Amino acid sequence: MNITASHREFAQAHKVRMDKFWPDQKPLRVRPPQPPQKDFYDLAWELLAVKPGIREIQEMTAEHFGVPVLFMETARKTQEAYLPRAVAIYLCKQFTTKSYPVIGRHFGGRDHTTIMHSVRAVQQMIALKHPIAKDVQILSDELGA
């Protein structure tokens, strides 16, 4: 086959030769790109979604339990102050990316081990179906879980 005219003739001749030597080989097809399942901007907005801060969680928890926000920072260890504070600490760990020491500073300068203990205590109460579990669920729903 003498090819002198154009690149199209060359391409056609090449195709004929490929079919001749590899008859069972299918020609390569290029599919158009598929649209992504989720738009890039949707994913970006999900990543940038405003999450509640420690102060907002403290205020919401204090309002839910009917105690002053100062109970979150006080050194009182009464049941009336401890449970709302422990729930707020647990929610802070669940809904923020803050570390235990940072959360401790917002709760009256408490040590990080105290914060860890509060988180574990609330987790155990939830596992044991303590009445506080219902309050945690309500607050979690309000915070957007």
* Domain with 85 in it: 54-143
Mean pLDDT of all residues belonging to the chain? 81
In the numeric block, which tokens belong to residue 22? 């590899």
Say if 25 falls within a structural domain.
Answer: no
Instruction: Place 37 in a pLDDT band, splitting at 50, 70 and 90.
Output: low
Say if 72 falls within a structural domain.
Answer: yes
Distance CA 98, CA 137 (A): 21
Say if 85 falls within a structural domain.
Answer: yes
CATH number of the domain encompassing residue 123: 1.10.1750.10
Say if 108 falls within a structural domain.
Answer: yes
Instruction: Place 58 in a pLDDT band, splitting at 50, 70 and 90.
Output: very high
pLDDT on residue 10: 58
23-27, 28-32, 121-125: range with highest mean pLDDT:
121-125
CA 42 to chain centre: 14
pLDDT on residue 5: 58
Say if 11 falls within a structural domain.
Answer: no
pLDDT on residue 29: 67
pLDDT on residue 119: 96
Kindly report, residue by residue over 110-137, the tens digit of the pLDDT. Answer: 999 999 999 999 999 999 999 999 999 9
Kindly report, residue by residue over 68-92, the tens digit of the pLDDT. Answer: 999 888 888 888 889 999 999 999 9
Say if 31 falls within a structural domain.
Answer: no
Distance CA 45, CA 64 (A): 29
For the chain, how many structural domains are there in total? Answer: 1
Instruction: Place 22 in a pLDDT band, splitting at 50, 70 and 90.
Output: low
What angle do helix axes 112-127 and 79-95 make, rounded to 10 degrees?
90
Say if 42 falls within a structural domain.
Answer: no
